[in-house]
């Protein structure tokens, strides 16, 4: 590179009088010692495939992936083009993790708790019953050890994880009977995946695994007595209010479910550093956008459900929640006692939650109790 006056150079960049092509020319022929932004110099373009666990263009989550692809394309000046595939379009939804590992796609979007069969620790990166809220989970991820632990775990699978959105607190679900005591959960066949399902089982219920597309008919035909899904916006779209009497809060089993973007580590490492930074920045933007969309849309649709659809909104009794929490502790204890890596992640999560809860109890909780009750 020609010797240049640094002060003049940066002033010119700030003033916009040096264009990108000029900067590229200044780089001249790529030299061995040039490590900065080699992609800009080589102009190498990447065409990536993004597989997802979401139905195509699924509200918020699929839409978020489409936006992520758009942002990456814009920021990279078209050097990375990402084609987004809904679940089943390139590979089945629940093969997203393996597809990215095996380079059938470069990246994917889903939720870590889908992969708990491969790594029990994974569940804690998405949702812990009676766990942290979205704000606390994000703090654990980005300013605590959460993401570091997640990266360590996924490195074992040749993957790089990024927080890719958060649903915020979910709803407790749709029921055709009132839940006044724990006895009302006995014998209840409910669609509830993950740790929540295991807790329900301990309470005498039967968790049933149904994919999103089968829940409505399952509930309508009595294959299940109750279901959880996400929150007011998605639940409204699914039409559960047409076939279930009671809508219960809160989603004790998913208090702030974190979603993920996963990238094949080899593919990610091959990118020049500026494109890696673009991916990281777009992922962070998606993380923020998804949570904002959930918060904004859920409040609109909860109001719609109550005012227009006359939905019976209920709260689980305190003693029911207290007992579900006891069962939760039992379920988690069994997982961490049998898996060292899950133990390490959960202990870190729990310690963060404890500190964070003290702060929340001493601040926001007082505000909410006083202003909203």
With vertex at residue 61, the alpha carbon angle to CA 59 and CA 63, rounded to the nearest 5 degrees, is: 60
**Cα gap 301→128, rounded to integer Å:** 25
Strand-pair partners of 99: none
The residue (of 116 and 170) whose beta carbon lies closer to Ca ion is: 170
Q: What is the DSSP letter of 113?
A: G
**Cα gap 359→370, rounded to integer Å:** 17
Min separation Cβ 110 and Ca ion, Å: 13
Min separation Cβ 237 and Ca ion, Å: 14
Min separation Cβ 171 and Ca ion, Å: 8
Which has the closest alpha carbon to 112: 92, 128, 134? Answer: 128
The residue (of 39 and 163) whose beta carbon lies closer to Ca ion is: 163
The residue (of 114 and 352) whose beta carbon lies closer to Ca ion is: 114
In the region spanning residues 216 to 255, those forming contacts with Ca ion, defined by CB under 5 A, are 254
The residue (of 120 and 231) whose beta carbon lies closer to Ca ion is: 231
Min separation Cβ 251 and Ca ion, Å: 7
The residue (of 254 and 258) whose beta carbon lies closer to Ca ion is: 254
The residue (of 72 and 195) whose beta carbon lies closer to Ca ion is: 195
In the region spanning residues 167 to 196, those forming contacts with Ca ion, defined by CB under 5 A, are 170
Min separation Cβ 170 and Ca ion, Å: 5
Omega of the bond leading into 250 within 30 degrees of 0 (cis): yes
77: its two tokens = 């000046």
The residue (of 37 and 203) whose beta carbon lies closer to Ca ion is: 203
CB of 146 closer than 8 Å to CB of 125? yes
232: its two tokens = 């007011």
Residues 6+ apart with CB under 8 A from 125: 112, 113, 146, 149, 150, 153, 161, 258, 260, 345
Site size for Ca ion (CB under 5 A): 2
In the region spanning residues 279 to 298, those forming contacts with Ca ion, defined by CB under 5 A, are none
Which residue reads 């007011």 in tokens? 232
CB of 196 closer than 8 Å to CB of 331? no
Min separation Cβ 266 and Ca ion, Å: 32
The 254-273 contact track toward Ca ion, x by CB under 5 A, reads: x-------------------
Letter string b/e over residues 305-331, b meaning 16 or more CB atoms within 10 A of that residue's CB: beeeeebeebebeeebeebbeebbeeb
The 127-166 contact track toward Ca ion, x by CB under 5 A, reads: ----------------------------------------
Q: Which residues here bind Ca ion, judged by CB under 5 A?
A: 170, 254
């Amino acid at each position: 590179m020609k010797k240049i006056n640094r002060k003049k150079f940066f002033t010119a960049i700030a003033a916009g009088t040096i264009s990108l092509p000029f900067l590229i020319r200044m780089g001249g022929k790529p030299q061995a010692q040039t490590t900065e932004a080699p992609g800009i110099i080589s102009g190498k373009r990447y065409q990536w495939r993004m597989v997802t666990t979401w139905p195509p263009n699924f509200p918020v989550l699929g839409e978020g992936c489409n936006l992520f692809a758009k942002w990456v394309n814009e920021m990279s000046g078209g050097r990375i083009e990402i084609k987004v595939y809904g679940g089943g379009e390139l590979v089945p939804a629940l093969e997203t993790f393996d597809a990215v590992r095996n380079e059938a796609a470069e990246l994917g979007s889903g939720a870590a708790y889908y992969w708990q069969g491969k790594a029990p620790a994974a569940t804690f990166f998405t949702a812990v019953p009676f766990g942290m809220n979205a704000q606390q989970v994000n703090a654990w991820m980005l300013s605590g050890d959460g993401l570091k632990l997640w990266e360590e775990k996924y490195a074992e699978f040749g993957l790089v994880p990024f927080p890719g959105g958060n649903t915020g607190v979910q709803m407790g679900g749709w029921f055709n009977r009132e839940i006044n005591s724990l006895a009302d959960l006995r014998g209840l066949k409910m669609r509830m995946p993950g740790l929540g399902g295991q807790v329900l089982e301990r309470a005498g219920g039967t968790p049933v695994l149904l994919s999103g597309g089968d829940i409505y008919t399952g509930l309508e035909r009595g294959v299940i007595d109750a279901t959880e899904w996400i929150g007011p916006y998605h639940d409204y779209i699914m039409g559960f209010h047409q076939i279930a009497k009671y809508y219960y809060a809160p989603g004790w089993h998913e208090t702030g479910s974190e979603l993920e973007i996963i990238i094949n580590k080899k593919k990610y490492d091959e990118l020049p550093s500026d494109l890696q930074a673009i991916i990281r920045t777009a992922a962070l933007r998606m993380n923020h956008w998804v949570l904002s969309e959930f918060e904004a849309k859920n409040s609109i649709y909860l109001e719609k459900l109550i005012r227009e659809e006359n939905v019976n909104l209920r709260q689980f009794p305190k003693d029911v929640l207290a007992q579900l929490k006891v069962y939760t502790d039992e379920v988690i204890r069994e997982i961490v006692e049998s898996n060292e890596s899950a133990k390490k992640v959960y202990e870190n999560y729990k310690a963060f939650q404890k500190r964070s809860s003290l702060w929340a109890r001493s601040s926001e909780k007082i505000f909410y109790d006083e202003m909203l009750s």
